[in-house]
Structure formats: structure tokens, C-alpha cells
Structure 1
Amino acid sequence: MMIDPGDAASVRELVGDARVVALGEGAHNITEFYELKDRLFRTLAEELGFSAFVMESGFAEGLAVDAWVGGGPGRVEDVARDGITYRFGECEPMRGQLRWMRARNCAGPARVSFYGMDLPGSSTSPGPAVRAILDRIPGRPGDRELVHLSDLGGRTEAALGYAAMSAPGRALLLRGLRELAERAAAHGDEVAGRCAASLHAFAAELDPPAAGPYPREVFMAETVRWILEREGRVVVSAHNAHVRRTPFLNRPTMGGLLDAALGDGLVVVGMTYGSGPEVRFAQRSPRPYDCDVFLEARVAPANSVEALLDRVGQAVTGVDLRRAPRTLFDGVDGTLAGGGLDLVDDFPAAFDALIHLRRVTRIPGAFERLRAELEAT
């Protein structure tokens, strides 16, 4: 029932023959989650032949990160900052993982690759995907204007910029993205084609369907399957809400879509924590990112799985849910995610395993950067 994330034999037993190990996290920008995922990826690469780390980050931007871990030029600080979206790369644990990947690639033939699987520009700006496509296909008149129009800026700046566009301006941008995506698909370059798919998903996410999976979830799942055509076994890193098999807020998730395609070829590991910092938002208006942000101390509700695992008394507790007795979750209503109680009807259906940390710390400077970003809007 119990698993030890630091023990290769324990990890091997959990993973089995799965081609995809999806590692979740109950909150972003938590130091210990980064460190744990790095350690698990190294074990999976060295012991089980996993060859790629796939991250909840822009696919187009990730191309530069993969080039760097393959021995390309540049400083890891710059590559991690510019090539990993949502500012997830602005921390030492992530830079340390990239350094390890580069050193492994330089030492021998067992290459490890980095991929983003998400929409471009932290899901608010199509610019990075536009530039990546134009680097790979023949140019045409008007391309320079499209680059200028599509480069909306950073995450909050881009969301506000798009919201402030006139209707004709939005129509011009979306028409340009659609036409470029069609050119890329027709050209035959596979990477440009995946960037084109990210543009289609970006546009669809602006007006998502009322039911069913969000276009972003579909794109991430399809990107993982695209990567599996090129890699043998991969680690996928994202929030618990993306990797879980069961619906989140009544919407199918990336994990659910992958489960339908891969079945036993997928192992999903959720990561939770009991106490430590928790970011909360208070929306002031419907305007994008118009909200107050607070850093509070997290307290696990008595009916949460975190409170249950806290009682085990270990700093790190790993549970193989496939072998755990069903009575383990008597009285448990959910797992904490995103600052609230996320109801989970059946933990073994949502996750194959849970790794629980009793206490965590936040990436230094992450909250201050977030607050400054929101205050600048």
C-alpha cells in the first residue's frame, strides 16, 4: 500500500509497464513539488528508460528549452525564464533539473528531452507559436504584421490587450492565426503543425464550448500522444486538476482523455500537502486578472485526504491507491486543490497514487512576482 518516492524498487512497482507517468501537484510554485518531480524523473530516466519530461508549459516555447538541454547555447537562467511559461521556470529547482538533463545528454547516448504541452504565451498570447511556425515555413507578405499583431505581451498584459481590442481587430488577428495555421499544416513540418494546432486551440479557448473538455485540455492530451510517437516513455507534469482521470468541475480533463487512449499505459500520481503557504484570489470585476491576491497559511479541513495523511506522521507519505483498502477513505470528502475543497468521489478512479507532504514552502519570490504582475494591470 505504501510507496517510497525515493526508492527505485518502490517506484518501479508503482509504474510497471506504463508509458506515461503523470505527476500532479496540488498548487503551483511549491518548492518541494519541483524537487520531488525532479527526483522522480531522474529515477524513471535512469532505472526505467523514460526519455522525456513533458510540462504544463507552452509547446512553442519549450522548443528552445529542449535545444538547450541538448547542448545548445545560452544560460539556463534565460532559457528557463523565457522557455517555460506561467513563470514556472524562475526557480532554482527547475533550473537544476534542466542542468541535470543537459549533463546527461552530454555524457552519453541515452538522451532525455524536454517538451511543453500547453498553449502559447501562458495561454493568453499566440505570439510564441506564430514565431515558431514562421521559423519553419516559407515566409509570405504580411507575416511581419501578423507577428506584431499576435505578440500581445506577458500573461496579464496579453489578456488585457486582447480584451481591449476592437471587434475588427480581434477578427483580423483570428483570421491571421487561422490562415497561418492552415499554411503550417499544409507545409508538412510536424513541429510547425503542432504549433498550428496550438493556435487553433488558443482561438477555441477564447469561446469554449458549454460542455465537454476545454480546448486546452484536448490540446494537452493530443500533444502528449504526439510526443509518444517520438518517445518511448514520458513523465507528464501538471496540476492535479489536469492529470486526474475523473472530471474536474464536471469537465473531462487531460488525464481523462489520456486514460481513454492509453488505459493501463497511464499511471497518475497526485501530490498534496497539509500545511504551508496558500495563494487565494478575490476577483474585483469581470475584467481579466482584476483581482486581489493573498498569501495565507493553509489548514487542511478535517474531512480532507490531507488531514488523513497528516495523521500518518511522516514528512512524505506515498500511498498506492490501487492496493489501499477501500475503508481508508471513510469520512474523506476531497483533496485540497487551488485553495478549496475539490470533491473526489473515488480516489482510486482519479489517481493511482498520492504523495503527501506534511509541510511545504513556496518558491522564493513567486508570490511577490505574481502580486506585482496583478498590481500592474
Structure 2
Amino acid sequence: MAADIKHTAHAVDASAVLRLLPSRPRMLALGEPTHGEDALLDLRNELFRQLVEQEGYGTIAIESDCLMGLVVDDYVTSGTGTLDKVMERGFSHGWGASAANRALVRWMRAHNEGRPAPERIRFAGFDGPLETTAAAGPRQALTALHGYLAAHVDPGLLPCTADALDRLLGPDDDRWTDPAAMMDPARSVGRSAEAKELRLLADDLAALLDQQTPHLIAATPREEWDRALLYGRTATGLLRYHHSMADTSPARLTRLVSVRDRMMADNLLALAARGPVLVHAHNSHLQREKSTMRMGGAPLEWWSAGALVSARLGEEYAFVATALGTIRHQGVDTPPPDTLEGLLYALPEERCLIDAARLAAALGGTGPAPRVSPWFGYAPFDPAHLADSDGLVFVRDLPRS
């Protein structure tokens, strides 16, 4: 068995990953089983550099706020701002503090220096403006979308004025971003009269943007139109999310995670339309199978962004998961030998790329036992998902960042 498994292992590089696939995908998704570990982000950075230099990939998309990500994209493409400010303002979830993320941004800016615009590589966040404990209000996205349309279409076609939007949004965003609303639907404003009217207006503004596409593409730079589409997706998605936060039914949390991944999927499909993309996020957001977790003591099950995108792109979507041996600084020690991670831990390589289909065949019908994590922040790879993954990166020991 050990010999069979060893024959499925390769060095981790872009060419080896692409050799596992029937054709070069428009979207290559690299998952991770835990967040905040620079060793995994360093591996991501290395793979992205190879994909850019050897395979012509042009965009990296990470699990971070899509609107904040525009700050990073402006910097890496045109040098707008300073590196320190970009790291502070361009990432959600506190990931601007990561040394590996800083190294990625610095390398992308250096790579783009002096290159013509069509040859510059791009950065994107593809998550909604959502944190674990709160959701942003729709003000930024709605006002930006309205401002773009007001500048370029007949004012009589607009469903409302900027003042009307401002009045409905309220004097500040505190009522939208109240962390207590995450677990208490009574604290959410998502089904207030103002929120319901804003949902209709956001839908009307997004529809007007679509209806005016030929004119807008001719009248404005393509980049401005692309961003207006992002503002439209984000505004309607956020208002849908806030509407679900006010839900009192047992399906409330399932609706919330489903809306979030739908927002992610819509952003990824838009990115895939402009060329090959490397996507990096948690395995649970990128896998083809239904995702599961427990939140508030309840089991949740939903289709991830990766499952939604895969259903649309078919073989043009590829998913490579990451599995880990140890994270000793978080109490995750040597995996039991009867688990998938335990079998891979017996390999001598510190990290390797596994041919998932060959490994599934080598394991036969009696798959390894699922690993149980002693730490909530790490999700072991489900061996039942092996056959539906295109590859598996295994990192033997994860050092402290």
C-alpha cells in the first residue's frame, strides 16, 4: 500500500498540477484546511508565480472582501497608494497583517512595473464584505453603482436619486453592522421597510446597468463597467444577506452560508470571463461536494462557491485541496495511521502533490478513517471527497507563522 501511495505523489509545481488535468482550466482552485498560516500562503504564492510565468495566468483571487480587494488591484496594476496602506485597507479578516500576503502584493507590483496594461496581472478578493461576526451595510456598493449610472445614462431612467438612497440607508452604518444580529434576528434591519425598498432599488439599478450595456461599454473604460457590475452584485447580495439575517426560521443559518457562497460564486464567474484565474480559499468554499459545518450548535449543509462554479464551467474548473499532517502550535499532532493524513504522513517528502484519482484507486473500496481535529480552526480532508478532487497537496508539518 505504501508503495502504491508513493507512486501517486509528485513535486508541487504548476506544471505537475496541470498535468493532472484533462485540459488547462480557466479557474484553478487551491484550497486550504485552515486559515492564517503563512506556510500555506507561501506555497500559494510560489504556485501563482509559476502559473503567471509559465502558463499565462493573469489573476489571483483570494477569500477576502471583494470591495477592499479593489485597493490592492489598483496598487499592483498602477501603483496607487503605498504598500503599507494597501495592506491595511485592502484585506478583510485581518489578513493584511500576513507576511506572505505582503510578499504577494510586493511581487505583483514589481512584476507589473513597466508592463503595458493588457499584460499586467490582477488581484481580486472574491468574498462578500462579510466578516465572521457581522456583515457590511450596502452603502458603498449602492452609492458607487448609482454614481456610475448617474454619470452615464439618462437621469430619467434612474429609479431614485442619490439623496433618496442616502435617506433609506440612514445616517450611519451601525444598525447594519451590529454584531448581535448574526445570532439574534431581532437585531437585524434586513426586513425593515427601508431595507425592503433598498432591495427593490438595488435590483432596478442592477437591471438598468444590464440594459445599458452597449452604451456603457462604448462610453466608459471596460474597467469602470466591470467595477459597476461588481457593485451591483455586491449591493444585491448584501441586501439578500441582511434579509436572511432577519429570518426567524430554522433554515436561517443555512440561508446565510448559502447566500455568502452564492456571492463568492458570482464573483468567481465574472473573474473567469476575463482569463485564467488562480483561486485560493478554504477547502469548504471550493470543493465540488456539499459543504458541512456546525454553527450555533446546528449542523449546516450547503453548496459551496466551488460547487456552483464547477456546475457552470465543467472541466474548465479544477479543484486541488490541501491536507495537513501536523499543526503542533495549535495542538494538531501526528495523524493516526489509519487516516488519509496518516497514510500520507508516512511519505518522506515535506510536501507533495497527490494524484487524487490514482490515490482513490490505490485505496480501493475500503477508504481510510476520517480524521478528527482537536482544534476547531482546522478541518481535516474528508477521504470521501478524494475521487471528486483533481489533486491533493499534502504538507507534512506546518511551522508556526
Query: What TM-score bracket applies, with the shorter chain setting the length?
Result: 0.7 to 0.9
Equivalent residue letter for 1:333: A
Rounded to whole Å, the distance in 1 between the matches of 2:20 and 2:260 is 29
Displacement of 1:259 in angstroms is 1.6
Rounded to whole Å, the distance in 2 between the matches of 1:135 and 1:210 is 29
- Of 321, 324, 327, the match for 2:356: 321
In structure 2, runs of 5+ residues without a counterpart are: 1-7, 148-160, 210-227, 293-300
Alignment correspondent of 2:305: 254
Say whether 1:345 aligns with 2:384. yes
Displacement of 1:134 in angstroms is 1.4
* Mapped contact 1:59–1:118 kept (Cα < 8 A): yes
Equivalent residue letter for 1:236: V
Displacement of 1:196 in angstroms is 2.0
- Of 324, 333, 353, the match for 2:369: 333
In structure 1, runs of 5+ residues without a counterpart are: 279-294, 364-377
Say whether 1:130 aligns with 2:139. yes
Q: Normalization by structure 2: what TM-score?
A: 0.75
* Mapped contact 2:291–2:303 kept (Cα < 8 A): yes
- Of 271, 276, 279, the match for 1:227: 271
Say whether 1:118 aligns with 2:162. no
* Mapped contact 2:145–2:232 kept (Cα < 8 A): no
Displacement of 1:166 in angstroms is 6.1
| Greater relative contact order structure (CA < 8 Å, 6+ sep) | 2
- Partner of 1:314: helix, strand, or coil? coil
The sequence identity of aligned pairs, in percent, is 26
Rounded to whole Å, the distance in 2 between the matches of 1:323 and 1:342 is 17
- Of 7, 13, 16, the match for 1:10: 16
Displacement of 1:31 in angstroms is 1.2
Q: Which has the higher strand share?
A: 1
Say whether 1:175 aligns with 2:185. no
Change (3 A) 1:201 1:107: farther
Per-residue displacement from partner, 1:209-235 (whole Å, max 9, x unpaired)? 687871111221121112222x21111
Displacement of 1:205 in angstroms is 4.7
Change (3 A) 1:201 1:40: farther
Rounded to whole Å, the distance in 2 between the matches of 1:11 and 1:342 is 19
Rounded to whole Å, the distance in 1 between the matches of 2:253 and 2:91 is 30
Q: Could you say what the CA RMSD is over the residues aligned between the two structures, in angstroms?
A: 2.9
Change (3 A) 1:104 1:152: farther
Change (3 A) 1:144 1:247: same
Alignment correspondent of 1:197: 236
Say whether 1:245 aligns with 2:288. yes
Alignment correspondent of 1:276: 327
Rounded to whole Å, the distance in 2 between the matches of 1:82 and 1:210 is 29
Q: Normalization by structure 1: what TM-score?
A: 0.79
Equivalent residue letter for 2:36: N
Per-residue displacement from partner, 1:100-147 (whole Å, max 9, x unpaired)? 1112222323211111111114262223x5214313423622544526
Say whether 1:150 aligns with 2:173. yes
Say whether 1:101 aligns with 2:137. no
- Partner of 2:29: helix, strand, or coil? strand
Per-residue displacement from partner, 1:293-329 (whole Å, max 9, x unpaired)? xx43444233322111110021102101133351337
Displacement of 1:248 in angstroms is 1.8
Give the number of equivalent residue pairs.
340
Say whether 1:71 aligns with 2:115. no
Per-residue displacement from partner, 1:142-166 (whole Å, max 9, x unpaired)? 544526443569xxx7423666796
Rounded to whole Å, the distance in 2 between the matches of 1:240 and 1:184 is 34
Displacement of 1:172 in angstroms is 5.2
